[in-house]
Structure formats: structure tokens, C-alpha cells
Amino acid sequence: MKAIVHHTFGSPEVLHLEDVPTPAPQTHEILLRNHATTVTSAETAGRQGKGFARLYFGPLRPRFEILGSAVAGEVVATGAAVERFAVGDLVVGGVGPRFGALAEFVCVAENAAITRLPDHVSWAEAAAVADGALTALPFLRDHADLQPGQHILVNGASGASGAVGSAAVQLAKHLGATVTAVSSGRNHDLVRSLGADDLIDYTREDFTRSGKTYDVVFDAVGKSSYARCKRLLTPTGRYLTTVPSLGILARTLLTSRSKRRRGSIAFTGLRPLAKVAEDLAYVISLVESGDYRPVIDRTYPLGETAEAHRYVDTERKRGSVVITIDPGPER
């Protein structure tokens, strides 16, 4: 089968299209003919072997030579003990902690965070759902405990146009909150179309000096800090970021139980797969009901994955960057 492989850390040039053996499903696995995946900023950091990413992606050389975490495809074979899925089923989800979706075929555990793909959701949309939303939802619902009527500020809302930010704006609205979105002006139309109530252009003003206060400040792109944002919090307000630093790791440990202002980070990739699968089915149902729109910036064919990585490295993507693989039956 064809797959995008990298044997060393580095620039997008380390990514190569290679012929590799098609995996065979183990007892509790399914084999998928893969039609779409995404390139996330977490994976491009993993490709570069940058900073904290080395802890997970490999200290000396890539632990996962085939990246890609979202999968949207068709079951073409199952392991002997598989009951949840059958050949011909169309599914969407995450391949789990070992990546491997930048390939024509991928094996996924039966109990992985995957769910059936309903009609009218394209392969590309499906892969994009398995991107930002599965990070934004647990941050807003579990860590921020966002309630109807509360006021949230989403930084990186053009991140609001990034994968996590664009999901956070829509899901925060769906949870009944008032949303102030911080993005560059060029993304204001997009962020407003996602439901944001107020918009701040961070290229023109410092949103931490607005003098306003919020129940939640969610930094979807990790470009601010608790120290800069705590003045924006109500006395019981919560600051959340997606990007680790020693400061926020310490604060997470020290203040996680406080009823007063606090700051924290979460690592949504480490959540129990069954919980992630529940969230996936929930967000897919919102797509079906028109309450959630996966934002797709660009799509690239598998052979141009290095180009896709080069674009994500700019930190200017709006929504998800999707890789289409063997487009398969029209949807």
C-alpha cells in the first residue's frame, strides 16, 4: 500500500510516499480502506521533533513513522473476535495513540474512538470532525464546566479559525454561552459565521487589556499565559490553554481543586477511548442536525502531504487541513 513515511525528524522534506506492507487486522482489530485524514499542528510539531513533542514522538528518532490520527473509511476486513463492526461499514474517528492514518489502509482497534459515518457527511468533513472538536469539547464541558448564560473568551478564535478554536466557538454557543472571539481581522467573517457574539482583532489590540471579565478564558492556540489573562477572569473564573508550559503544568497541579480563579491545561489525547467515541458520536449528530460545521481550510491528495505540512507549519490554517486518499465511493 502507499503511505507517507518519515524516518527522521525535520522539515516537511522528511515526509516520503513509500510502498509499505498492508497491515493485517489482529483479533480485535478492523482493517479500513482509508479515504481521508487530517494534518494537525500537534503532528507537525511531532514531525519536527520540537520541544515537549519529543516526549511523545520519540527522544532520538520518530516513534511513529506514519503520522495521521483522524480516519474516515470503509471496513474491508475484521479480526476473528470483532463484533462491533462488519465488512462494508463506513466509519469515522481516531486511529488512537500510535497514528498511522497517512496511508491507504489502516488497522484500528475495535474499541477505538470510532463510530459509524452517517449519510450526507463527506469523507473530508468526517475527518475534520475528528480533529478540533474532540479537543474543544472536553476542554469546555469537563475542564471549564461551561454553563448556559456564562461568558467565554476564546483566544486563537482565528484558531477559532484553527481546528480547536473553530470548534470551541461553535460548541460554546451550543452550550448556551456568550462568546467573545479573539482572532486576526482577516478571519472575522469566518468566526462571526461560526456564531461568535463579539470579535477582538489581536493584531490591533491587546485583548488582555480590555477591562472586561469572563467566566472562562480558553486559549485554543496557547499564545497567552495565565499571568497575562488572570485579570480577565471573574473571581471564580477559569483559564485554560492547549499548549503545555512548566508554568501551566504547575498551576494545574496546584489549583485544580480551587473554587477561586484558576488556570489549567488538559491533554485530550490521553482520554479514555470510550469517552472520545461518545464525544465523536455526539459531534457527528450535531453535524447531522446542522448545529456544527467542520471548517475545512484546504485539502491535499496523499502524495502532497509534505505541502500540507508546510502550510500547517505557518500556524495560519483556518480550520482543518484534510488529506484525501483514494477518494472511493462518492458521498
Ligand X SMILES: NC(=O)c1ccc[n+]([C@@H]2O[C@H](COP(=O)([O-])OP(=O)(O)OC[C@H]3O[C@@H](n4cnc5c(N)ncnc54)[C@H](OP(=O)(O)O)[C@@H]3O)[C@@H](O)[C@H]2O)c1
Stretch that binds ligand X, among 75-83, 117-125, 183-191, 232-240 (CB under 6 A): 183-191
DSSP H helical ranges for the chain: 41-48, 53-57, 123-129, 133-138, 163-174, 188-193, 226-229, 246-255, 273-288, 305-312
Q: How many residues of this chain interact with ligand X, rule: CB under 6 A?
A: 33
DSSP E strand stretches across 51-195: 70-78, 90-94, 105-109, 114-116, 151-155, 178-183
Q: Which residues pair with 242 in a beta bridge?
A: none
Distance CA 6, CA 85 (A): 31
**Using CB under 6 A as the criterion, what x/- string covers residues 35-64 for binding ligand X?**
-----xxx--x-------------------
Binds ligand X (CB under 6 A): choice among 187, 208, 299, 324: 187
**Using CB under 6 A as the criterion, what x/- string covers residues 192-231 for binding ligand X?**
----------x-----------------xxxx--------
Binds ligand X (CB under 6 A): choice among 12, 46, 93, 132: 132
Kindly state the smallest distance separating residue 21's Cβ from ligand X, in Å.
30
Stretch that binds ligand X, among 65-73, 78-86, 260-268, 285-293 (CB under 6 A): 260-268
Q: Could you give phi then psi for residue 32, rounded to 5 degrees?
A: -110, 135
In the bound state with ligand X, the residue whose beta carbon lies nearer, of 31 and 191, is 191
In the bound state with ligand X, the residue whose beta carbon lies nearer, of 75 and 182, is 182
Q: What is the Cβ-side half-sphere exposure of residue 260, based on CA atoms within 13 angstroms?
A: 6
267 in contact with ligand X (CB under 6 A): yes
Kindly state the smallest distance separating residue 269's Cβ from ligand X, in Å.
5
158 in contact with ligand X (CB under 6 A): yes
Contact 72, 54 (CB under 8 A): no
SS3 (DSSP) at 160:
coil
264 in contact with ligand X (CB under 6 A): no
Distance CA 101, CA 324 (A): 11
Contact 33, 328 (CB under 8 A): yes
Give residues 291-330 in contact with ligand X (rule: CB under 6 A).
315-318
Binds ligand X (CB under 6 A): choice among 34, 115, 150, 155: 155
Kindly state the smallest distance separating residue 50's Cβ from ligand X, in Å.
10
Question: Alpha carbon 243 to chain centroid distance?
Answer: 13
Kindly state the smallest distance separating residue 302's Cβ from ligand X, in Å.
20
Contact 160, 181 (CB under 8 A): yes
- The CA–CA distances, whole Å, from 259 to 152, 219, 254, 288 equal 18, 20, 12, 37
Binds ligand X (CB under 6 A): choice among 165, 237, 263, 294: 165
In the bound state with ligand X, the residue whose beta carbon lies nearer, of 78 and 242, is 242
- Interface residues toward ligand X, by CB under 6 A: 40-42, 45, 132, 135, 155-156, 158-159, 161-165, 183-184, 187, 202, 220-223, 242-243, 266-269, 315-318
